[in-house]
Structure 1
Amino acid sequence: MKLRALPLIDRLPGLGGDRPRTVLELDLSHGVQVGPPGSPLEALRLRQAPTLRALGEGLRRAAGDDDVLGLLVHVGTCPLTLAQADEVGALVADFSQDKPSVAWTETFGELGSGLAGYRVAVHAREIWLQPSGAVGLVGVSAGITLLRGGLEKLGVDPEFGQRHEYKSAAEQLAGREVSEANREMTQRLADAVVDDTVTRVAARRSLTEDQVRAAMAVAPLSAAAALDAGLVDRLGYADEVRAWARETWTPAWEPRYVHRYAGDGPGGAGQALRAVTRRHQPRVAVVDVTGPIVLGPGTARQAGAERVGARLREVGRDDDVRAVVLRVDSPGGSYVASDAIRREVLRLRESGRPVVAAMGTVAASGGYFVAMGADEVVAQPTTLTGSIGVLAGKMVVERLLDRAGIVHESVSAGPRAAMMTASRPFTDEERAVLDTWLDDVYADFTAKAAADRGLALDVLEPLARGRVWTGGDAAERGLVDHLGGTRLALERVCALVGLDVDDVALRTPSPLEFLRQLRVAESSESPAAASLTTAATVGPGGPEAVLARLSEAVGLPLTHGVLSMPPGLRLLG
């Protein structure tokens, strides 16, 4: 057996033997895993995608490793959101302060936008572009779609209420024209992302902001035009990038993926070494709130209040855990479920463990509800957040059923038992009940947001009203404390307990977290309860079930809850 075949041998000084030096590779074509996979199938699908934690640990260790010469970042198709791109870009920037780095790609978009990939690339010391490629720094597009006209032609009548004018998810379903509030909000979201991109690119590429805006005005740019504009440093193919690295850095080196260097994966050498060296270090736990927030345990792609709550309670029972990073990437959902998760966050704080929320791509409405209870909130400049508001209602299919010759009759006991039935409109009394409920939920949301953020209610109210903000705009208005990613959240929570970030061990969900679902939970407090998901069940029939399945298929918020951000709001860049 060769000595180097032992799993930890390369990590032990003097025992690795003579070996070529290393150039690390980061291939963004496969994406990046932020949290653990939710199922065995998802684990197989994402097996080539590195975890964000492995990238961070690998690049930080490599910056001080004399055997590592530099970093090659293949941007490729880069299926990252803008917020994820900024998280990865920050890691590349930190590494590039100590070691050379090159970002290369075939193209930053092909006629379309390559904004996310370029936002990563600008953090490398050099950018290479294939001669036939382009730089699609075309800006940001956000579409607004109103469905009411089409629904009415089908015989479906939306009946919704919202609080207030910026809660545009209701407008998407029930509006006949785009409101000025919705148009203003969406335009500002797009403008804010472009402004941040211009500032970022100008700073990293030593250009003026006017030069960057001038390049964006004529994008997409050919490779030659991008070179002339200072957006890239060299033109070349993949083989030429590697040949240049061997000529410039050293001829003898071996490529290695960053996450393999870090020992990523179940049972990997890096994990084994961390388990040994950090056994007695104080811990910071990372808890994920990912996907629509729902009551019950939820599915693998949802943030079930029972499952997230059990995870937070499990962390609270661990005496070695000194603080918690709450990683939120959710468009919201159920009001009651969001409030239940927020309560568990507050209980952790009451136990003496500070909590810092790290927002991902989106932490809006119910996603903001659970994050705002933390001691501090960190967001990326392009995070979609806020949406402090509420909507509720139903889709009435009375005309559709009549047109199709379908007879549906409701038999109920109780004056409001059939209030939410899809087979008839609201009565005037039921509409009044709905309006009162919307007012109550909005008042509770805004009061708690004001208290959590330390703002007077009359200061918070204009920032609420259902409006979605970018993380940058939210920070300027006191809805967010700091701009950055998970690493900054970790640094902030360590500072709150007087620890150095390099002296703590992270308690994160295992890549095999989904296997805990095979264990039978003895109670709601047993560790297995933190991994339970909803079993497949046979739900109710009737028009409501049909509408629920239809809305789920097309991405409407009907099944996610009343604290949801607009389902069609996506910044395409």
Structure 2
Amino acid sequence: MKFIWNVLKWCWKGFNFIRDLVMNIFFLVFMLFVISVFSLLHSHKSTETLEQPSALLLNLNGYLADNRDENMKWQTLLQEINGQPAPTQISTFDVVYAINHAAEDEKIKGLVLDLNYFEGADLPALDYLGSTINRFKQSGKPVIAYADNYSQAQYYLASFADQIYLNPVGDVGIQGFSAQHLYFKSMMDKLEVTPHVFRVGTYKSAVEPFLRDDMSPDAKQNTTRWLNQMWNNYKQGIAQNRHIPETTVLPATEQYLTELKALGGNSTKYVMQRQLVTALATPSELSEKLTALFGQSDDDDFQHIDFDSYLATLPDRLDGIKYPHNIAVINVEGTIIDGESYEENVGGDSIVALLRKAQSDDRINGVILRVNSPGGSAFASEKIRQETEQLQKLGKPVVVSMGSMAASGGYWISSTADYIVADKNTITGSIGIFSMLPTFEKTLKKAGISTDGVSTSPFANVNSLQTLPKAVSERFQAEIEHGYDAFLEVVSRGRKLSKIEVDKVAQGQVWLGQEALQHKLVDELGNMRVAVEKAKALAQAKLATDTPTDFDVVWLTEEATGINALLNSFKQESKALLRSSVSEMLGLPKDTQQIQKELGLLTKFNDPKGQYLYCLNCANIK
């Protein structure tokens, strides 16, 4: 009886799931049309000006990335309608743009960082934003940060402020960095999936999750080296910003526990003892302090203008080309795939189209390729690199600005540029290549299914439902070895190193930017500002005049308009809705999203030759 009851209960859950899913899909279609109208209003630039002297409130409700999230999501719309915080993808370059303007704006009297809903960013983005805040402080205007509690990323950004406030019962969660990965070998063994892997490189660990249940000693050693260096950079940055000893940022474990216990486990007092914050303040007390500093608004708050509103008063940095001489910026952000960009993947064809636009426009004198990618398709990566080389042949210099990550395929497209600028914490290198073809002949056999047929050669019928012929395996391995040699050749030519020198720092090894500089894989450490100045200098040298030229910086972006934009948005939102609905039905924890993401890599890989320049172990840093 209990068994029948459980079956009925699961049937009822399934019925409810299907009903809710269908209703949500119809609701989503309706909301997308509403959003298309709302987005036009939302993105329309305000004609209002700042009337009262105010503070710029940097209320970053979301996470930082290079690109803007141009699609207004239906969940975000509902949250905004209900007056709830709506986390979004915020462009780091928009934030920098607003702060730079605010520094010269007489109506802006200071900068206030509300970090309560800031979901974080990579360390290079935080450093770039921090350096911009430091430049803002040179105007003599105060910078104040506050939050009820600080995560590591929130606090790192807050550390650039003149004053840091914390709720009297809050905490600063500095705990260290961790790089964790999922491994699927035992799962694949249970499913009797045969992973055929072809690779070159001692440290090429991108496919380890499908071959092992743990990290190999070589991969662990490599990751430990650069992760510790990144952690040291984090501590040094905070110590420098707060003028405190580096050892107090996060004391040694025994010292930490001893000092915390001496305070009765009061972590807030311990934060104060380590001088991580200026003072403790309740929201009311903080409001009084800010009102005394910036004046009172009509709604009894301190006089301020929030980030989105202030950005709307400024000319859009994506407005296009206005002047005769320009440096164009093209973002390559996400996994590199063959074809067009979609979701979080950047399409080789999409970037090629932007590079060709830069080639044909005489008003563009140089290009900055902003790379923030772990790599992906070898074919798509080479197509992008070919087009950057064509720019150089036309006399238009190419400068690479590396963000958080420019590894494997991200380094391939960078390697032959005229100049490479990396952040000291950029994850780069991973010079290696692999191919993977899982086959399911044992899985089918277990289910009582077999495949059979005839072919004129062992290469004629290669598929995942039958055993991979030995000749096919040998062909794949030979092509991968050729691909690795081609990688060495490209880097050797671009970096003016011998192939032997490149091979010593290749083999799939991952390097931080500061190490890459020592190994001559990059030319200089710095942020986008450094890359812009270098691109202008190189472009000036190409002009047939010694008269200094005023170069404008323009951003070339992919644009989806009209029905295509609506269909793309519908496709993405439908997938997200289906994933969340299934997770809720099964009661899966949020951490299962990491499993979906890492297993989903197999569906992203669409290289026509099945060859990949991808650094899986570069990601998932906490």
TM range (shorter): 0.7 to 0.9
Cα distance in 1, alignment partners of residues 453 and 532 from structure 2? 54
Residue aligning to 1:495: 537
Is it true that 1:23 corresponds to 2:67 in the alignment?
A: no
Q: Could you tell me how far 1:313 is from its partner in structure 2?
A: 0.4
Q: Secondary structure at the match of 1:70?
A: strand
Cα distance in 2, alignment partners of residues 394 and 368 from structure 1? 24
- After the TM superposition, which residues 333-352 of structure 1 pair with which residues of structure 2 at under 5 Å, given as runs? 333-352=376-395
Residue aligning to 1:526: none
Residue aligning to 2:476: 434
Residue 373 and residue 79 in structure 1: after superposition, are their counterparts in 2 closer, same or farther (change >3 A)?
Answer: farther
Residue 54 and residue 393 in structure 1: after superposition, are their counterparts in 2 closer, same or farther (change >3 A)?
Answer: closer
Residue 52 and residue 143 in structure 1: after superposition, are their counterparts in 2 closer, same or farther (change >3 A)?
Answer: closer
Cα distance in 1, alignment partners of residues 620 and 549 from structure 2? 35
Cα distance in 1, alignment partners of residues 193 and 125 from structure 2? 38
Residue aligning to 2:559: 513
Contact 2:55/2:112 (CA < 8 Å) preserved in 1? yes
- After the TM superposition, which residues 25-424 of structure 1 pair with which residues of structure 2 at under 5 Å, given as runs? 25-37=57-69, 39=71, 41=73, 50-82=90-122, 83-98=124-139, 99-108=141-150, 114-175=151-212, 177-214=214-251, 218=256, 222-250=267-295, 254-263=303-312, 269-271=313-315, 279-280=322-323, 282-409=325-452, 411-419=454-462, 421-424=463-466
Residue 129 and residue 165 in structure 1: after superposition, are their counterparts in 2 closer, same or farther (change >3 A)?
Answer: same
Contact 1:450/1:456 (CA < 8 Å) preserved in 2? yes
Q: Could you tell me how far 1:497 is from its partner in structure 2?
A: 2.4
Residue identity in the other structure for 1:89: G
Q: Secondary structure at the match of 1:418?
A: coil
Cα distance in 1, alignment partners of residues 502 and 562 from structure 2? 41
Cα distance in 2, alignment partners of residues 42 and 166 from structure 1? 43
Cα distance in 1, alignment partners of residues 613 and 317 from structure 2? 42
Residue identity in the other structure for 2:411: Y
Cα distance in 2, alignment partners of residues 492 and 172 from structure 1? 40
Q: Could you tell me how far 1:229 is from its partner in structure 2?
A: 0.4
TM-score, with length taken from structure 2? 0.76
Residue aligning to 1:523: none
Residue 304 and residue 38 in structure 1: after superposition, are their counterparts in 2 closer, same or farther (change >3 A)?
Answer: farther
Q: Secondary structure at the match of 2:118?
A: coil
Residue identity in the other structure for 2:134: A
Residue aligning to 2:551: 504
Q: Could you tell me how far 1:153 is from its partner in structure 2?
A: 1.2
Q: Secondary structure at the match of 1:374?
A: coil
Residue aligning to 2:81: none
Q: Could you tell me how far 1:167 is from its partner in structure 2?
A: 0.9
Cα distance in 1, alignment partners of residues 417 and 193 from structure 2? 41
Residue identity in the other structure for 2:493: A
Q: Could you tell me how far 1:384 is from its partner in structure 2?
A: 2.0
Cα distance in 2, alignment partners of residues 162 and 497 from structure 1? 40
Q: Secondary structure at the match of 2:238?
A: helix
Residue identity in the other structure for 1:316: Q
Cα distance in 1, alignment partners of residues 515 and 317 from structure 2? 41
Residue 169 and residue 115 in structure 1: after superposition, are their counterparts in 2 closer, same or farther (change >3 A)?
Answer: same
Residues 9-28 of structure 1: CA distance to partner in whole angstroms, max 9, x if unpaired?
Answer: 73xxxxx7xx4211001122
Cα distance in 2, alignment partners of residues 44 and 452 from structure 1? 44
Residue 241 and residue 564 in structure 1: after superposition, are their counterparts in 2 closer, same or farther (change >3 A)?
Answer: farther
Q: Secondary structure at the match of 2:249?
A: helix
Contact 1:293/1:332 (CA < 8 Å) preserved in 2? yes
Q: Following superposition, which runs of at least 4 residues in structure 1 exceed 6 angstroms of deviation?
A: 42-47, 272-276, 499-502, 550-553
Residue aligning to 2:508: 466
Q: Could you tell me how far 1:138 is from its partner in structure 2?
A: 0.8
Cα distance in 2, alignment partners of residues 472 and 136 from structure 1? 26
Residue identity in the other structure for 1:30: G
Contact 2:368/2:400 (CA < 8 Å) preserved in 1? yes
Q: Could you tell me how far 1:91 is from its partner in structure 2?
A: 2.1
Contact 1:331/1:366 (CA < 8 Å) preserved in 2? yes
Residue 170 and residue 504 in structure 1: after superposition, are their counterparts in 2 closer, same or farther (change >3 A)?
Answer: same
Q: Could you tell me how far 1:445 is from its partner in structure 2?
A: 0.4
Cα distance in 1, alignment partners of residues 155 and 396 from structure 2? 38
Report the RMSD for the aligned CA atoms in angstroms.
Answer: 3.3
For structure 1, the 5+ residue unaligned runs are: 1-5, 11-15, 109-113, 264-268, 520-531, 537-549
Is it true that 1:485 corresponds to 2:523 in the alignment?
A: no
Cα distance in 2, alignment partners of residues 430 and 155 from structure 1? 21
Residue 451 and residue 557 in structure 1: after superposition, are their counterparts in 2 closer, same or farther (change >3 A)?
Answer: farther
Q: Could you tell me how far 1:274 is from its partner in structure 2?
A: 9.4
Q: Residue 496 of structure 2: which of 450, 454, 476 is its match? A: 454
Residue 65 and residue 43 in structure 1: after superposition, are their counterparts in 2 closer, same or farther (change >3 A)?
Answer: farther
Cα distance in 2, alignment partners of residues 106 and 130 from structure 1? 5
Q: Could you tell me how far 1:417 is from its partner in structure 2?
A: 2.1
Cα distance in 2, alignment partners of residues 7 and 502 from structure 1? 32
Contact 2:334/2:372 (CA < 8 Å) preserved in 1? yes
Residue aligning to 1:545: none
Cα distance in 1, alignment partners of residues 252 and 289 from structure 2? 28
Contact 1:159/1:425 (CA < 8 Å) preserved in 2? no
Q: Secondary structure at the match of 2:232?
A: helix
Q: Could you tell me how far 1:345 is from its partner in structure 2?
A: 0.7
Q: Could you tell me how far 1:323 is from its partner in structure 2?
A: 1.5
Cα distance in 2, alignment partners of residues 273 and 442 from structure 1? 40
Contact 1:55/1:259 (CA < 8 Å) preserved in 2? no
Residue identity in the other structure for 1:337: A
Q: Secondary structure at the match of 2:120?
A: coil
Residues 493-550 of structure 1: CA distance to partner in whole angstroms, max 9, x if unpaired?
Answer: 122224999943332246x92217859xxxxxxxxxxxx99x99xxxxxxxxxxxxx9
Residue identity in the other structure for 2:496: G
Report sequence identity in percent: 25
Structure 1 residues 281-290 or 491-500, which shifts more?
491-500
Contact 1:140/1:571 (CA < 8 Å) preserved in 2? no
Aligned residues: 523
Q: Secondary structure at the match of 2:340?
A: coil
For structure 2, the 5+ residue unaligned runs are: 1-44, 78-85, 261-265, 542-546, 573-594
